[in-house]
Amino acid sequence: MKNKTIFVACDTSNLNKIKKIIDQTNSNKLKIIPKFGLQFFYSKNGRKFLEKFKKDFWLDLKINDIPQTALSALDSLKDLKKCKYVTVHANGGLEMLKSIKKKAKKINKNLKVLGVTILTSLNDKSLKEIGHTKNVKQLVLRQAALIKKSGCDGIVCSAQEAMMVRKRYKNLLIITPGIRLPGDNSNDQLRVMTPKQAFGNKVSGIVIGRSLTKGDIKNNTKKLADHLYK
């Protein structure tokens, strides 16, 4: 039953809440890996906690800078031995993506680099406001091509674009945020799907946050397992 990878978004700077999320999302039916973002990583105790963390985790930093600065940022993470995934943003361009992937191999042979495409809080209207002339689907495909060409291990995109990306790239890891259990509020996400819908679109893994971490975490985790396997 653990063939579907679930990343739980640990979006808080409260260390006790982080520990509670990790403990109460533990499941014998689901493969759940914690994902730590900027809020926790930048917090006073966040990095110290990750230095000593004993299980695989995803560090979602969305690195996006000139290649040398991006490389220096990645190099500063080499003491985080259990970091299995790290994100870089496709907006940084091909050379940055290639440099990050090359550096990652030297730091940790098990570290997978994921290229982030258009954030799930954006839609066609948002892109037009920024100045893009392409729509979400067109831009995600363009960014996916960059990510694949760079040698990165996977792509982060919404489940709504996952199927078209999978058709082009059969072996690329595809991980999708913007996931909500049926009936849950979409909040600030504009391109959302349920877990079952997302896995139906051939994704490798999903990121789920508030649907798991808000309220009764154990019960929410059970609801997720029932949703996927019943």
The pLDDT tens digits for 84-128 are 999 999 999 999 999 999 999 999 999 999 999 998 888 899 999
CATH numeric code, 5-229 = 3.20.20.70
Kindly report the length of the chain: 230
| Contact (CB, 8 A) for 65 and 120 | no
Distances (CA, A) of 67 to 97, 104, 135, 185: 8, 13, 27, 38
% of the chain residues with pLDDT over 70:
96
As a whole number, mean pLDDT of residues 30-56 equals: 96
The per-residue pLDDT for 4 is: 86
62 is catalytic: yes
Q: Of 19, 29, 54, 62, which one is the catalytic site residue?
A: 62
The per-residue pLDDT for 230 is: 78
Domain ranges of the chain: 5-229
